[in-house]
Amino acid sequence: MTDKWIYWFDELGKDSFELVGKKCANLGEMTRTGLPVPPGFALTVDAYRRFMEETGAAARVREYVGTVSQEQLLRDERVSRRIREIVESHELPADMKAAVAREYGRLCALVGVPDLPVAVRSSGVVSMPGAMETHLNVRGDEQVFRKIVEVWGSSFTFQAVAYRANNGLSIESFPIGVAVMKVVNAKCSGVAFSVHPNTGDRNKILIEANWGLGEGVVGGGITPDRFVIDKTTGEIQATINTKDECVMPVGAGTAWQPVDPQLRDCACVTEEELREIVKLAERLEQAYGEPQDIEWVFDRDFTLPESLRVVQTRTAKIAKGTDNGAQNQYLIDLLLSTVYHRE
């Protein structure tokens, strides 16, 4: 365990995944290469381990796990709920609070907004889409402290605990980093695949979008707009769906809100904005050398092209046995999780 357990994104790169988790490592890599990433910092997996050990949470979890069976870990959601309650009953140690408050204050000063709304996002070393959590529109030191602990607690969801039990991994110790980053003032958000995930067609980009924050796409509450774009010809195949609701900042969090009736049946992304997403997807695919699954958002506070922000990228999972020879196992997680609930 090292003394340094908070890193700003520009201090990280794609090889930092064992230090801060895959999401934070990718945010760092994109920041360093000049991509439009919201500013923020990461807590390392050592911060998680330190919290668990110093507060006694790890010992309490170990003791409790010793009283339940393997079958209960795999089948009984009450077990994971109890473990999570144990973890989240503890607060950050005082010196950790001071360090987080200092860096959060730096972020507020950088943006020029006191009590800046931030996203507190999970960043697993092992990727388990949808298993761990993100909290949006978090304001002020105390809320940031609490949501960091809740993100760590979300490493004990039923899905996460069952995964570890089924794979012979430690239940009480599971490395997870945390990203604390500015929340974008979202006009619309969504996901983009630089290769079509259903067909494996590398000449097609798939984009899904809704008004507001990205939870409105990945949360499954509505059917988003869908666009398939030909990289060679630029042809756009658009399916515009009725979008009655979207996710927006509300109070100290977010909530589903009604969409303006005049916008419900309109495309939430313009053709010009789609072209910018395509450019971003192609740039990311080239930078990483393989197809990418990208989370993006357009910020109301800026105009194109500066309004486009990328909040996550990772290797896209594409269909097995497609006609382009792709051999990756396809497990689409488009609706499982985001800026948002996807790990």
Closest CA to 339 of 299, 295, 302, 292: 295
Distance CA 244, CA 88 (A): 35
Range of the structural domain that residue 243 is part of: 186-315
Same domain, 33 and 159: yes
User: Which two three-digit tokens encode residue 243?
Assistant: 């979008």
Partnered with residue 167 across adjacent β-strands are none
Q: Are strands 40-43 and 6-8 parallel, antiparallel or unpaired?
A: antiparallel
Closest CA to 73 of 64, 234, 205: 64
> Residue 342: CB partners within 8 Å, gap ≥ 6?
129, 130, 218, 295, 312, 333, 336
Distance CA 84, CA 68 (A): 15
Closest CA to 332 of 237, 176, 220, 188: 220
Domain harbouring 198, CATH code = 3.30.470.20
CA dihedral 333→337→342→343, nearest 10 degrees, is -80
Average pLDDT per block of 10 residues along the chain, 343 residues long: 88 95 94 93 97 96 95 95 97 98 97 94 77 86 98 92 89 90 94 94 96 86 94 96 94 89 97 97 93 94 92 82 35 30 39
Residue 27 lies in a domain: yes
Predicted TM-score of the model (pTM): 0.83
Contact 274, 236 (CB under 8 A): yes
Contact 87, 152 (CB under 8 A): yes
Residue 249 lies in a domain: yes
Same domain, 119 and 142: yes
Closest CA to 27 of 195, 130, 180, 191: 180
Residue 252 lies in a domain: yes
Same domain, 51 and 112: yes
Same domain, 133 and 110: yes
pLDDT at 163: 87
User: Which two three-digit tokens encode residue 212?
Assistant: 């507001």
> Residue 268: CB partners within 8 Å, gap ≥ 6?
187, 188, 209, 210, 211, 225, 243
Same domain, 20 and 32: yes
Same domain, 211 and 115: no
Query: What burial letters (b/e) apply to 223-260, b meaning 16+ CB within 10 Å?
Result: ebbebbbebeeeeeeeeebebebbbbbeeeebebeebe
User: Which region holds residue 140: left if phi is over 0, alpha if psi is between -120 and 50, else beta?
Assistant: left
User: Of 182, 204, 226, which residue sits at a domain end?
Assistant: 182
Same domain, 234 and 119: no
Same domain, 166 and 225: no
Contact 96, 50 (CB under 8 A): yes
User: Of 131, 158, 182, which residue sits at a domain end?
Assistant: 182
Same domain, 171 and 217: no
User: Of 182, 215, 230, which residue sits at a domain end?
Assistant: 182
Distance CA 243, CA 259 (A): 7
pLDDT at 302: 87
Residue 220 lies in a domain: yes
Q: Does the bond joining 305 to the residue before it have cis omega, within 30 degrees of 0?
A: yes
Q: Which amino acid is at 282?
A: E
User: Which two three-digit tokens encode residue 150?
Assistant: 């809740």
Distance CA 271, CA 75 (A): 47
Contact 124, 175 (CB under 8 A): yes
pLDDT at 251: 78
User: Which two three-digit tokens encode residue 267?
Assistant: 């495309």
Domain harbouring 144, CATH code = 3.30.1490.20
Q: Which amino acid is at 79?
A: V
Question: How many domains does the chain divide into?
Answer: 2
